[in-house]
Structure 1
Amino acid sequence: MSQELAAPLPRLTVVTLGVSDIRASIAFYDALGFSRRLKATGEAVAFYDAGGPVLALYPWDQLAADATLQDAPRPSTFRGMTLAWNCRTREEVDAVLAFAIRKGASLLKAAHETDYGGYSGYFTDPDGHPWEVVVAPGIEVGEDRRVHLAD
């Protein structure tokens, strides 16, 4: 008699970004204020508390090898993925974008009213990973700085 195994609980635990220059990327994410954890890993890999899932930085070529994917050619265009920094207000969106630019990000798209009633803009990190900075209806950022979704 075989027992059916229960389906695992799905969850996103870590987002790992492949980076060209680990030192520069560590300096950038430190400057943005992300809290680095497990510093004993040195420059082999960097882990950051991202308020829920972990943000990890790993050398691009090693990440590709680990996933058994080709390292080249590296995309210079949209990769089909963005990261998001949800905010509580439009003013916070503007402040986060300005702060990121001062810390070395590149402005991709200035903050603007969205067609769904939100307000957002985009910046890229030193490796071109796009970040949306956004306030959106139905997505609340709580006192704990975590995102809470409406039912």
Structure 2
Amino acid sequence: MSQELPAPIPRLTVITLGVSDIRASIAFYDSLGFARRLKVTGEAVAFYDTGGPVLGLFPWDQLAADAKLPDQPRPTTFCGITLAWNCRTREEVDAVLAFALDKGARLLKPAHETDYGGYSGYFADPDGHPWEVVVAPGIEVGEDRRVHLAE
């Protein structure tokens, strides 16, 4: 009889995006105001403090190779994942969308009232990774920049 191992504590620590041009992506995320950390990595990889899980940027082909996945064909459509920038107010949603577009993002969907009582819009980063900018009931952004969920 084997002894059952204790379950590890689940955690999401880093979200890494594969990017086509690491320099351009670093410039984009710097311009959005995310704080870059571990700059000693130069342009090999970039890490950003987001107030929650770390955002990583890594060259697309190297990230695919590291995960033992094919680099080609690169998807040209939705890949089943979005990133979110939760806000405190509808006005903040509008301001974040305008700011991101000013920094080179592409508007995917203008801000609008949602069917669940929130307010949301989408932009894409230089590699097309979709970001939802949203204020939603039951999800609050604290002074610590972290998301706090209702029970």
Q: TM-score, normalised by structure 1?
A: 0.98
Once the two structures are superposed, the pairs formed by residues 76-115 of structure 1 within 5 Å of their partners are 76-115=76-115
Q: Secondary structure at the match of 1:91?
A: helix
User: 1:2 Cα shift?
Assistant: 5.3
**Number of aligned residues:** 151
C-alpha distance in 1, partners of 2:2/2:62? 41
Query: CA offsets per residue over residues 71-92 of structure 1, 9 Å max, x none?
Result: 0000010010000000000000
C-alpha distance in 2, partners of 1:136/1:80? 21
Q: Which moved more, 1:104-113 or 1:2-11?
A: 2-11
Find the counterpart in structure 2 of residue 50 from structure 1: 50
Query: CA offsets per residue over residues 30-74 of structure 1, 9 Å max, x none?
Result: 000000000000000000001110000000000000000000000
Unaligned 5+ residue runs, structure 2?
none
User: 1:13 Cα shift?
Assistant: 0.2
How many percent of aligned residue pairs carry the same amino acid?
Answer: 86
Q: Secondary structure at the match of 1:121?
A: strand
Find the counterpart in structure 1 of residue 143 from structure 2: 143
User: 1:3 Cα shift?
Assistant: 4.0
Once the two structures are superposed, the pairs formed by residues 32-43 of structure 1 within 5 Å of their partners are 32-43=32-43
Which residue identity does 1:99 align to in structure 2? F
Stretches of 4+ moved more than 4 A in 1?
Answer: none
Query: CA offsets per residue over residues 87-126 of structure 1, 9 Å max, x none?
Result: 0000000000000000000000000000000000000000
User: 1:5 Cα shift?
Assistant: 1.9
User: 1:4 Cα shift?
Assistant: 2.7
Find the counterpart in structure 1 of residue 121 from structure 2: 121
Whether 1:59 aligns to 2:90 is: no
Q: TM-score, normalised by structure 2?
A: 0.98
Unaligned 5+ residue runs, structure 1?
none
Query: CA offsets per residue over residues 108-148 of structure 1, 9 Å max, x none?
Result: 00000000000000000000000000000000111112100
Which residue identity does 1:37 align to in structure 2? R
